[in-house]
Amino acid sequence: MADKRFFRSRDPVPLGDIAERIGAGIAQTSDAGRQMSGVASLDVAGPDEVSFLDNPKYVDAFAKTKAGACIVHPRFADRAPAGTALLLSEQPYRAYSLVAQLFYPDEAVGTDTFGSPGNVSERATVHPSAKLGENVTIEPGASVGAGAEIGRNTVIGTNTSIGKGCTVGKDCFIGPNVTVSHAHIGDRVMLHPGVRVGQDGFGFAMGYPRHEKVPQLGRVIIQDDVEIGANTTVDRGAGPDTVIGEGTKIDNLVQIGHNVEIGRGCIIVAQTGISGSAKLGDFVVLAAQVGVTGHLTINSGAQIAARGAVVHDVPAGQQYGGLPAKPIAEWRREVVELRKLGRRPKTGNKPSEQ
């Protein structure tokens, strides 16, 4: 259940309006007028809250829920408890996300963290040449450098630094303790606390008597509707730009090296590392702790299983896994054979008895 100290819900909404928003059918049209005031999980939802069932593991919890309404696939409708209105959807989890956005719109786009939305704090530092759009929030301790531009309705969180010359689009949320340099950021971008964007790529000409630093002269380009999780780092390019494509979602603790190009709609999960000059096509998925070698291409629609180590190009639409990563069916066969090998009885001569 959402704590009202942190999450502000909108006014109650009729179930019929909710059904229309998510494209769901109401099992009983007489329920369309019921007023709902929020969302909650199956085990704690009350009679004025909407819940959902997506994973069959929770069918028993669904059968016992006290939720006023529940989003379910039609095949589970007969397991509903009495008194719970049903919203029938082929994609319950996706539908639930839309309902949660309806009740808690601020949480979908990011909101101020200090408590003074739409204001520039007296304790913030904004260079006289910086340009701020309408209704921009600059929280205490934040700084906006010379020539930087911040679009309307954007939030710059406490102690965040927007470097000189950077641009940030409209309706963005740049959380507390973020640093942005040498970067252009699109609209509706979310950078969670501790994100680092635009710092030097790891570029050195190695050799004796010392490793010579290669000036990193590129930028970071983050397109619209990108979300980047806490403490992720995105290095600027060495010459070409580092690019993150529209709608890509990046988890916490991810490292993106210089010159990396990431396409549209990619999913990159925690503790993944992408080496310099690697390229990802559109809608690529990298699961947790994947490692990607530099200067290779993972083509559109490919998926890499957790802890996979990608050392060669990956064809479009393929699923790879393992170390080194290979087609996932091949990798699974290898795992099974190794397990069988480990279970074989030991052979050989017994030690002679004394």
> Which sequence positions are flagged as catalytic?
258
| C-alpha pair distances (Å), 34 with each of 20, 47, 87 | 14, 10, 12
CA 333 – CA 101 distance, rounded (Å) = 42
Among all chains, which residue has been given the structure tokens 């959402």?
2
DSSP alpha helix (H) spans, the chain: 15-22, 59-64, 92-103, 105-109, 328-343
Q: How far from chain centre, in Å, is Cα 17?
A: 28
Amino acid at 344: R
CA-based torsion, 221, 112, 141, 144: positive or negative: positive
Tell me the C-alpha distance between 234 and 256, whole Å.
Answer: 5
Identify the CA nearest to 255 among candidates 282, 226, 278, 221: 278
Question: Is 54 buried (19+), middle (13-18) or exposed (0-12) by CB count in 10 A?
Answer: middle
Residue 342 backbone phi and psi in degrees, to 5: -70, -20
> Which residues, listed in sequence order, are joined to residue 222 by a DSSP beta bridge?
185, 244
